[in-house]
């Protein structure tokens, strides 16, 4: 896995991106925190969506026409996405900041002196695992919510417009949010600072904008990272960006942040 490692035959082993990815995969699956964080993300996504649907079914008969009109059974399965996003975001920060806190990053960058393959390897492993796990969880969340909503005949079929986009959009959003968080962890190199910044960006700043007059807040709110990203599984209401446009904006935010993280990793000593 490194130019400094020697095989039994005495031949040096070249550092390649695929070998770095394999190394990062070993790190990823060997940490207990990764398993438990992903389990938490899955549980939150499915559990909160089911709870939301159960509350809607229970209160449906007491709701007026306006309240019923606001309910969207298609996006009911996405109600836990915000909490799942927090879990995957914490995981993204931990995967890089944890190595800085333990000092393991020095060994990683000694073995891979070009440095950037380490970051690309972490992103590749995180993306593949998180998207796969959350895609399955999103599908299960849809099935569970529709089973609950069937109690009031509010359920929708798989072929209903927007269903597939919601099922795929949720894992896309939480995965990119995790990459965003990993970039923060790389920039700040501290777990507490990375998670605090993540919470501020996604959970503190947006509510602050709601305190402003709507004429000022509305044009800005739809371009904030969380609002833009969540448009991919939203219903397009409230003047939000079009689903894939919003997700594209979120990806641009993430790509820029990853670019800064890569620059810092290359230019600043450990």
Q: Is the pLDDT of residue 123 over 60?
A: yes
pLDDT band with cut points at 50, 70 and 90 for residue 11: low
Compute the average pLDDT of residues 157-173.
94
Query: Is 250 contained in some domain?
Result: yes
Domain range for 60: 17-267
Q: Under a CB-based contact definition with an 8 Å cutoff, are residues 163 and 156 in contact?
A: yes
Q: What is the DSSP string of 132-163?
A: HHHHHHHHHHHHHHHHHHGGGT----TTSTTH
Query: Is 140 contained in some domain?
Result: yes
pLDDT band with cut points at 50, 70 and 90 for residue 63: confident
Total-model pTM: 0.90
Question: Which of 116, 120, 119 is CA-nearest to residue 96?
Answer: 119
The three-class DSSP label of residue 12 is strand
Tokens of 184: 């923060």
- pLDDT top residue among 176 and 100: 176
Query: Is 60 contained in some domain?
Result: yes
| Number of structural domains found in the chain | 1
Query: Is 6 contained in some domain?
Result: no
Query: Is 246 contained in some domain?
Result: yes
Place of tokens 């979120």: 250
- pLDDT top residue among 90 and 33: 90
pLDDT band with cut points at 50, 70 and 90 for residue 198: very high
Q: Under a CB-based contact definition with an 8 Å cutoff, are residues 67 and 20 in contact?
A: no
Q: Can you give the pLDDT at residue 141? A: 97
**Spatial CB neighbours of 239, under 8 Å, sequence gap ≥ 6:** 218, 222
Q: Cα dihedral angle (55, 57, 61, 64), rounded to 10 degrees? A: 70
Query: Is 132 contained in some domain?
Result: yes
Tokens of 253: 């935010």
Q: Can you give the pLDDT at residue 238? A: 66
Place of tokens 């790389």: 186
Q: What is the DSSP string of 64-80?
A: -HHHHHH--SSGGGGTT
Rounded to whole angstroms, how far apart are CA atoms 69 and 156? 15
Q: Under a CB-based contact definition with an 8 Å cutoff, are residues 80 and 44 in contact?
A: yes
Query: Is 10 contained in some domain?
Result: no
**Spatial CB neighbours of 262, under 8 Å, sequence gap ≥ 6:** 116, 119, 186
Query: Is 249 contained in some domain?
Result: yes
């Amino acid at each position: 896995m490194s130019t400094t490692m020697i095989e039994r035959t005495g031949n040096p082993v070249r550092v390649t991106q695929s070998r770095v990815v394999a190394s990062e995969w070993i790190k990823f699956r060997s940490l207990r925190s990764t398993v438990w964080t992903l389990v938490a993300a899955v549980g939150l996504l499915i559990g909160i969506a089911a709870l939301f649907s159960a509350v809607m079914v229970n209160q449906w008969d007491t709701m007026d026409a306006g309240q019923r009109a606001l309910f969207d059974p298609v996006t009911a399965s996405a109600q836990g996405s915000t909490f799942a996003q927090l879990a995957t975001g914490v995981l993204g920060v931990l995967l890089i900041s944890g190595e800085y806190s333990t000092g393991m990053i020095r060994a990683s960058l000694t073995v891979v002196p070009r440095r950037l393959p380490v970051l690309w390897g972490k992103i590749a492993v995180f993306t593949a695992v998180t998207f796969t796990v959350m895609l399955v969880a999103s599908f299960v969340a849809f099935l569970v919510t529709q089973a609950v909503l069937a109690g009031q005949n509010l359920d929708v079929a798989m072929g209903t417009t927007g269903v597939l986009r919601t099922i795929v959009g949720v894992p896309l959003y939480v995965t990119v949010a995790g990459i965003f968080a990993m970039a923060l962890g790389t920039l700040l190199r501290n777990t507490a600072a990375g998670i605090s910044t993540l919470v501020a960006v996604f959970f503190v700043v947006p509510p602050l904008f709601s305190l402003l007059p709507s004429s000022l807040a509305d044009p800005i709110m739809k371009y904030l990272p969380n609002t833009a990203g969540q448009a991919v599984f939203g219903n397009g209401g409230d003047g939000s960006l079009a689903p894939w446009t919003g997700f594209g904006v979120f990806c641009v935010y993430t790509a820029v942040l990853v670019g800064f993280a890569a620059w810092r990793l290359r230019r600043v000593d450990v």
